[in-house]
Structure 1
Amino acid sequence: MRKIGNLEIEQIAKLAQNDVYQQLGTSSNGLDRAEVQKRQEKYGKNILAKEKKTPLLITFLQNFTSLMAVLLWVAGGISFIAGLTELGIAIWSVNLINGLFSFWQEYQASKATAALNEMLAESSSVLREGKQQDVPAEQLVPGDIVNLAEGADIPADIRLLSSNGLRVDQSTLTGEVDPINKNADPFTGQTDTVSELKNFIFSGTSIIKGNATGVVVKIGMKTSFGQIASLTQNVQSELSPLQKELNVLTKQISLLAISIGALFFLAAVFLVHYPLIKSFIFALGMIVAFIPEGLLPTVTLSLAGAVSRMAQKNALVKKLSSVESLGSASVICSDKTGTLTQNQMTVLHLWTPLRSYHVTGQGYAPHGSIYDGPHQRSVKNDPELAELLAGGLLADNAKIEEPNDKHSGYACIGDPTEGCLEVAAQKGGFNSAAERKQHPRQKEFPFDSDRKMMTVVIEKGQERAFDSYTKGAPDNVLAKCSTYFSAGKSLPLTDSKKAEINAANDGYAKQGLRVLAVAGKILPKDTKASNLEEDQVESELTFLGLTAMYDPPRPEVKKAAAECRKAKIKVIMVTGDNGLTAETIAKRIGIVDRKKNVKVITGAELNKMNDNALKDALRGEIVFARMAPEQKYRVVDNLQQMKQIVAVTGDGVNDAPALKKADIGVAMGKTGTDVAKEAADMVLTDDNFASIVAAIKEGRGVYSNIRKFLLYILNSNLPEAIPSALFLLSGGKIPLALTVMEILFIDLGTDMAPALGLGRQATEKEVMNQPPRSTKEHLINKTVLLKAFTWYGALAALLSTVGFFLNNAFNGHYYPALPTAGWDYRQATTLALGAVIFCQMATVLNCRFDTETLFTKQNFFSNSLVYTGIILEGLLLLALCYVPFLQEIFGTARLLLSDWVFLFCLPLPLILLDELRKYLVRKNS
């Protein structure tokens, strides 16, 4: 608990008013000017501290100092020193582009604290030295006496001194939309969560009804709101799974490239006796050949393509790397209200002492009917139904608005529980506006947590049977009843009838429904409403019936939950609602297995569990209820300790710490606060859980595409390395089939063009039939290496080498008397280069699908970017062959017609061979 002086906040809540003044060193006249100044110096301003951020310049420079980047800077520098200006420019340009791509990905400065500050009240009405005055909210200090009116934003954590019909929206703190009734009475019970204290109101929340006076207890970062800000700020931003994997990959490839470069340098010096500078250039070619310069641009394009597709499916991604993180998700911690459900309370059942009813239609739209079995009922032909619905409607402070500029559908203004009663009345045949006008309210006794009911006195008129209507918790309302309404008249409430009512209530409660009871009373004639007391009206009531309501699941959620189960993604509901409702919804939509024992853990129970017990619970079917922000954060933290990749949904300020802690935070676009959206990595524009699942599919596709890209570029490493190996092993008798400049042309030109197309490859159908990838699984695994080097790469190396020797033979040159310079040599290396490029064309088509065949209309003609890359490859090769200045730079020559025939014969056999492999894989699986 947070302490005030030497008392905990719960103890402050238990104090009488005079004791509160004494504890906080204030009085009913407020603080004097000198004391205010003293406390401002001691406690500081009533604002949230700003989060420290890495300077933008440092962030920018960090992207040019990775191991791979340093290697390329050095390689480019050596090229300039050796007089290879074009080569140096090319290498440095690629490095610059890669750095800019990385910087753009990381330039996601968090604005969560700024958004939190924007939610705080700007000014407050304060009593100081006995005088009322408006002061900026940031100047409030503990001990200030504050007056708050309806609609006010609450500027600090405040202990109430007096209140009048006070209802507060605490959804920013708790995530639950139902308004909370507050009063100034000393707290007498026990609570595990300070937000449940009835005589405290909290910074960042707002008053939706009534007014109050209170004393400031906590300000700034010490408030409940500030604690959330602190928790959010203290979350260390971690690298995404993809970023971690790319870091490992670049280090591995860089070390491999350096090792191979060093080996080839030594071999060139001692086996072939090359001069040092020539050996450096030779080794440089091998280093650059093994570094995937196109990796970051391709990754970024792949992520950007997924972002575009996800936006079409109502998921807006703020951070590119988050796309793949979502694809790696093994656990989704989801809110209930508005994400799994529609956030539109709906009356599902009605019950009167004469019969029970089923209500059709969902949400706030007044479309639906009321049925007694197969028979449709309305207020015109059913007096019991009419009084039940009238009682709910007339004792209702909410309002249903039709679609307008602010909201596309019907919306509830006020308490959703009350709003759905108006909708039910309309379904039963009432015109709600006309009914309220015909029976205006004379007096109201507001709901409070002790009575658990509220009552209105109305103008009865000719239509209504009662002068007042009461609605509230069934047990409390029933205890005030002495009769029940049936067959148009009031009858004595017997024990058997009470048992029948309680059985109906229990039955609805076990279904996870929220139940309200409605009762009425006939008051003595000529009674003046203004003279009535609460006890006079709320006694000897006539029981009218029960209303059972729920927040219906979104229609798409059940299918999405089934898809998660198939994809081995665990979905955990984490809600502020009660356990029974949460469990019922979880079972209804299928995020837990109905056949298994489901453990429901409340926030209070979680506080008593150690981390080991929590981890054990997380391995089973589980639902969390009545959760506070720090508890949600703890659940996420423990899941991450279990090596799970965690996605978390949220919409309130209270969700910000967990959203930021998660591997990917998902905020709600419609109902989400700015704070939640800023802390999150992704925003759902439709607040729909199904959109998360669609985004996961895209994320999985991204990882698959990056792996395809790596497979594609790695396959050209072998045909680039083999000529150098043959050259060294033969002691220079077999000339280099590919020159250093030709190798760089492959890496910086023909490698990248089609590879960028692979980054936009559509997600394969089977991707959601597999479990999430293990955190131990790497982008380059045994399968990728085998495919790259013993299949695609080996074939390309073989065909390239064959092309080199065939061209030499065609020109009359045979081993060991092969030319090492001149036109014939240049033509032979050009053919070897062409063979590698044409093999690349086949390989990029083969890499598009892991197991699916290329030869279907949909597969073959999709992804025009790949075909654009292939055409560009061909045009680049033509330019090298026939543009004179490029011939001089790259040492190439014109190819003969027979050479082109050889090249055009290469792709089809390679494609057919891989189609055979895919067929065998499909057959065996």
Structure 2
Amino acid sequence: MIIQLFFYFMHFEKRVFMMAEQKTGRDFAAAELQSVYQDLKSTPSGITSEEAAKRLAEVGPNTIQKRQKESQLKLFAKNFISLMAILLWVSGFIAIIAGTTELGIAIWCVNLINGCFSYYQQRAAQKATDSLLKMLPSYTKVLRNGEPQQIETSQMVPGDVFLLQAGDAVPTDARIIEATSLQVDESALTGESVPESKIAAYHAGEGQFAESNLIYAGTNVGSGTATAITLFTGMATEFGKIAKLTHNQRRSISPLQLELNRLTKQISMIAIAIGTAFFIAAIFFVKYPVAQSFIFALGMIVAFIPEGLLPTVTLSLARGVQRMAKNHALVKDLDSIETLGETTVICSDKTGTLTQNQMTIDHVWLPSKTYDVTGKGYANNGKIQYQGQDITLAQEPDLERLIKVAALDNDTEVQMVDGKAKILGTPTEASLIILAQKAGFDLTQRQKQFPRLKEFPFDSERKRMSTIHQIDSQHARLCLKGSLSDTLKWCPYLLDQGKIRPLTPEDRANIDRINQTYASQGLRSMAIAYRDFDAQTTTDQIQQLSIETAEQELVFVGLVAMSDPPREEVFDAVKKCHEAHIKIIMVTGDSTLTAKSIATQIGIVSDRARVITGTELDQMSEDDLSAALAGEVIFARVAPEQKYKIVSTLQARGEIVASTGDGVNDAPALKKADIGVAMGKMGTDVAKDAADMILTDDNFASIVAAIEEGRAVYSNIQKFLIYILTSNVPEAMPSILFLFSRGLIPLPLTVMQILTVDLGTDLIPAIGLGSEQAEPGIMKQPPRRRDAHLLNKSVIWKAFAWYGLIASAISTFSYFFTNLQNGWPQVPLFSTGYNYREATTMTLAAIVFTQIAAVMNCRTQRASVFSNGLFSNRLIWFGIFFEVALLATLVYTPFLQDLFNTATLNGRDWLFLITIPIPLFLIEEARKFISRKIATNTH
């Protein structure tokens, strides 16, 4: 009993603490502050260091756990156990059994080299990704033992009281104790580009993360200061919950891997079918013994396996990855680059992805005039225009008054560092500072000239901020900015062309109409007003003013309309996506008006597009959502799990989905999508970890380049397949002649010579095809259909019935022509001796030179090779030089002549060989020309 009581008291505190943890953030938000202290067993001065150590041992460090990565051994082994790799292991084993040990070992070496290279590429991409991922802020100021201390963020625990100021990142989910002018950028969680005002008092707000007195890990303080008490840390935070949801998603097999598996099965069936046919023919036509026929058939099976497929695919993807890296796109997995090329739908976030995540003034409205503000972004070289003409403040006293009020009633500072703006404050206030700079307003000088006497910070209840400044020795002025509805009701006066007059009901109606017009355009408006105090108001009286007594009798000056402008490069990127038949769906946490305005402005959708909110989405059935996704649609005010639902529904419709984003709220959708694209600069760690590709410059246009690269990769794999299968036909023809002549025609090509073509002369030109640039017009074609395959009718026709038959005819002719010069048919065909070696050498050489024509012809599928540049692919020309040099080495090196059964070629032989590629190339160019003409006339 005593022991039980001992353990009861030892663990009482832990049980109470764990019970408190079961409460939700909203429970803590609505509770009295004293109750929060009691639940968390904390005080206004924080907890002790000893207590913090105990809690840290219980709940663990305040860190976001990364997705558990595969061991390096498992990652390495995966490169050797794909379906194609297994086929090559089996092929090598069969080749050894068939007596061609050299061929078997060579096939295994190819498999080993490819696997090691694939692992190297994956490891390099993983290292580059890890270097990008930066975790939560390193240090935070907390109250421990009643004193402020600077500690590592990872050491924070529930119950810790900590301090925040402008520029700080919020380290935990917390309840605000005190706040002064606090504004928090929650775009990483909500997608909303405008900072949220936070106060100590509780207001529920609308939607998720809307509580006025709660702040969340992973968000940032834009302005103001605060003291807060930690509620949740690490994976228990909202940030951590979304990360956990992301980690639980399993990555599906990429479309390319599925297609390669299918291709492997197809090639295996073809090879086995051919081997079986040759086995039967060897027994019944040549009268070979069963054992010898079986070994002969195994050799044919090996000959039809494209040993170079895996290296070429890997190198094609690797070259694509390298080119994308130069364009600021980091691909974490090789297959991802091709998957993006198949994309049919892009689900794109708005803030920071399509837009600059920078609030910028577009229009300034005064009762008498409306001004346009040119020069987008945080640049100080823009202009203010009226009716297309640049203006100065000296010409426009009302505009000068508005800018002066907006600039003085401001706590934000914008610093230009290396040509880039660094904001110390909120984007909204920064846009007003930039407006002043564009108008030539010297803010630093004016702040000294008009010192601040008193301020009334912005809060979410009255939605205004005001400051009082000394204008001269006799007068003071209150400068105010805020929402129109909460400002206009306190304005009995209006500034109109330099004169103050009463604000009439007609004026109010007109101002409301203008405000609604801006709202319909997706612009956010802010009202500017002021009040002058007379000379009798002393400084002491001003200091004693309350908000209610100060913010009245205001003079309405005008409206500023602002927006988060689209990225300049996004217009062209969206146009290219549409030309490529790729649908873009905006999925954002921003408002419906803003979302639709941006989407229509940059051309994603038309004015007829449907806007679906998160609330509506919750009420929609899967069938209704699927039907909505068939048309033009925008999703606004959506939560993380809703983005995931959208991606899942699109995939159920058969779409290949790319999802872009930068916030924590984007991570589940990034993981679920066929390819997730995260922003490298603005992106959170969870988003980067979930994504397949990271844009290091946050440039949406890089996605379009990746799509083109991905399409080129798939096309190049098909080109390689045609090229490699083409050589299989003339390689098989000698065996066909041998069989159907019942052994009277000796094999015109030996196994070692077949090996020379498959793993020697063909290899570098094939790799060159893997690095071929995209054909003209590839981005004006629709993505390939899901039921389209690498080995299709067109590939089979070109490889076997066109290129292959021509190559077989030429190589067979070369064999008999050489024998004819050596006295055949008077002299019988021998299977040994110099004449036989000379004939097989010419057969081999003819195949090599037909392959020179084949690799040039395979560079394009429809377009003329000249449109891509005859000499633009240096690797192919190097490959051509290499295969001719390798052939010459085998022909003229004595010990290699014995190994590969070759003989010396004379000048007449070389002259014949050189003439082979040119007519073959020109014939194919003519065929492509006729094909293009027919296609043009058909359309």
Q: In the alignment, which residue of structure 2 is the partner of 1:570?
A: 583
Instruction: Say whether residues 1:648 and 2:641 are aligned partners.
Output: no
Give the 3-state SS of the residue equivalent to 2:556 in structure 1: strand
Separation (CA, whole Å) in 2 of partners of 1:477 and 1:146: 34
The answer (yes or no) to whether the contact 1:51–1:113 under 8 Å persists in 2 is no
5+ residue gaps, structure 1:
none
Cα 1:103–1:889 change in 2 (3 A) is: same
Give the 3-state SS of the residue equivalent to 1:229 in structure 2: helix
Shift of 1:119: 0.9
Alignment of 1:172-187 (within 5 A): 172-187=188-203
Give the 3-state SS of the residue equivalent to 1:860 in structure 2: coil
Residue type of the alignment partner of 2:750: T
Shift of 1:681: 2.7
Shift of 1:237: 2.1
The answer (yes or no) to whether the contact 1:47–1:117 under 8 Å persists in 2 is no
Q: In the alignment, which residue of structure 2 is the partner of 1:823?
A: 834
Separation (CA, whole Å) in 2 of partners of 1:686 and 1:318: 16
Deviations 1:371-404 (A, max 9, x none): 3325543221222111111111111222222242
Separation (CA, whole Å) in 2 of partners of 1:922 and 1:816: 50
Alignment of 1:409-420 (within 5 A): 409-420=420-431
Give the 3-state SS of the residue equivalent to 1:521 in structure 2: strand
Separation (CA, whole Å) in 2 of partners of 1:114 and 1:631: 30
Specify which of 648, 665, 671 is matched with residue 637 of structure 1.
648
Alignment of 1:532-681 (within 5 A): 532-594=545-607, 597-681=608-692
Residue type of the alignment partner of 2:710: G
Instruction: Say whether residues 1:192 and 2:202 are aligned partners.
Output: no
The answer (yes or no) to whether the contact 2:223–2:426 under 8 Å persists in 1 is no
Shift of 1:85: 4.9
The answer (yes or no) to whether the contact 2:726–2:799 under 8 Å persists in 1 is yes
Cα 1:429–1:164 change in 2 (3 A) is: closer
Q: In the alignment, which residue of structure 1 is the partner of 2:483?
A: 473
Q: In the alignment, which residue of structure 2 is the partner of 1:785?
A: 796
Give the 3-state SS of the residue equivalent to 2:530 in structure 1: strand
Instruction: Say whether residues 1:526 and 2:538 are aligned partners.
Output: yes
Cα 1:671–1:642 change in 2 (3 A) is: same
Shift of 1:487: 3.1
Q: In the alignment, which residue of structure 2 is the partner of 1:832?
A: 843
The answer (yes or no) to whether the contact 1:16–1:186 under 8 Å persists in 2 is no
Q: In the alignment, which residue of structure 2 is the partner of 1:291?
A: 305
Separation (CA, whole Å) in 1 of partners of 2:884 and 2:275: 29
Instruction: Say whether residues 1:234 and 2:245 are aligned partners.
Output: no
Shift of 1:45: 4.2
Instruction: Say whether residues 1:434 and 2:445 are aligned partners.
Output: yes
Separation (CA, whole Å) in 1 of partners of 2:171 and 2:691: 25
Q: In the alignment, which residue of structure 2 is the partner of 1:12?
A: 28
Q: In the alignment, which residue of structure 1 is the partner of 2:361?
A: 347
Shift of 1:289: 1.8
Shift of 1:633: 2.6
Deviations 1:90-122 (A, max 9, x none): 222112112113323444559999987821554
Instruction: Say whether residues 1:155 and 2:171 are aligned partners.
Output: yes
Query: Equivalent pairs: percent with the same residue?
Result: 50
Q: In the alignment, which residue of structure 1 is the partner of 2:519?
A: 509
Residue type of the alignment partner of 1:774: R
Shift of 1:184: 1.6
Separation (CA, whole Å) in 1 of partners of 2:597 and 2:310: 46
The answer (yes or no) to whether the contact 1:126–1:135 under 8 Å persists in 2 is no
Separation (CA, whole Å) in 2 of partners of 1:403 and 1:820: 80
The answer (yes or no) to whether the contact 1:378–1:385 under 8 Å persists in 2 is no
Give the 3-state SS of the residue equivalent to 2:395 in structure 1: coil
Shift of 1:843: 0.9
Specify which of 808, 813, 817 is matched with residue 819 of structure 2.
808
Separation (CA, whole Å) in 2 of partners of 1:377 and 1:794: 76
Cα 1:411–1:32 change in 2 (3 A) is: closer
Shift of 1:449: 1.0
Alignment of 1:55-66 (within 5 A): 55-66=71-82
Shift of 1:498: 0.9
Give the 3-state SS of the residue equivalent to 1:716 in structure 2: helix
Shift of 1:146: 4.3
Q: In the alignment, which residue of structure 2 is the partner of 1:54?
A: 70
Deviations 1:191-216 (A, max 9, x none): 331x2211111122343433333333
Alignment of 1:120-269 (within 5 A): 120=137, 122=139, 125-126=142-143, 137-148=153-164, 151-187=167-203, 189=204, 191-193=206-208, 195-269=209-283
Deviations 1:542-569 (A, max 9, x none): 1011001122223332222222112110
Deviations 1:135-175 (A, max 9, x none): 65445444444454555443322122332332223233234
Give the 3-state SS of the residue equivalent to 2:231 in structure 1: strand
Residue type of the alignment partner of 2:246: T
Shift of 1:473: 0.7
Alignment of 1:679-690 (within 5 A): 679-690=690-701
Alignment of 1:19-30 (within 5 A): 19-24=35-40
Q: In the alignment, which residue of structure 2 is the partner of 1:459?
A: 470
Separation (CA, whole Å) in 2 of partners of 1:233 and 1:793: 49
Q: In the alignment, which residue of structure 1 is the partner of 2:408?
A: 394
Higher mean C-alpha displacement, 710-719 vs 797-806: 797-806
Cα 1:3–1:174 change in 2 (3 A) is: farther
Give the 3-state SS of the residue equivalent to 2:561 in structure 1: strand
Residue type of the alignment partner of 1:507: T
Cα 1:602–1:802 change in 2 (3 A) is: same
Q: In the alignment, which residue of structure 1 is the partner of 2:3?
A: none
Cα 1:147–1:897 change in 2 (3 A) is: closer
Shift of 1:603: 2.5
Higher mean C-alpha displacement, 167-176 vs 422-431: 167-176
Separation (CA, whole Å) in 2 of partners of 1:699 and 1:384: 55
Q: In the alignment, which residue of structure 2 is the partner of 1:761?
A: 772
The answer (yes or no) to whether the contact 2:133–2:688 under 8 Å persists in 1 is no
Separation (CA, whole Å) in 1 of partners of 2:47 and 2:826: 101
Q: In the alignment, which residue of structure 1 is the partner of 2:7?
A: none
Q: In the alignment, which residue of structure 1 is the partner of 2:885?
A: 875
The answer (yes or no) to whether the contact 1:154–1:203 under 8 Å persists in 2 is yes
Higher mean C-alpha displacement, 58-67 vs 416-425: 58-67
5+ residue gaps, structure 2:
1-17
Separation (CA, whole Å) in 2 of partners of 1:124 and 1:414: 20
Q: In the alignment, which residue of structure 1 is the partner of 2:895?
A: 885
Cα 1:132–1:920 change in 2 (3 A) is: closer
TM-score, reference length from structure 2: 0.91
Deviations 1:397-449 (A, max 9, x none): 22222242xxx334443212111212222222311221222112222211111
The answer (yes or no) to whether the contact 1:439–1:460 under 8 Å persists in 2 is yes
The answer (yes or no) to whether the contact 1:172–1:205 under 8 Å persists in 2 is yes
Give the 3-state SS of the residue equivalent to 2:199 in structure 1: coil
Shift of 1:457: 1.0
The answer (yes or no) to whether the contact 1:48–1:117 under 8 Å persists in 2 is no
Deviations 1:556-604 (A, max 9, x none): 322222221121100111222211111111111111124xx21112223
Shift of 1:758: 0.9
Alignment of 1:740-759 (within 5 A): 740-759=751-770
Residue type of the alignment partner of 1:521: R
Cα 1:734–1:547 change in 2 (3 A) is: same
Separation (CA, whole Å) in 1 of partners of 2:110 and 2:56: 55
Cα 1:623–1:70 change in 2 (3 A) is: closer
Shift of 1:523: 2.1
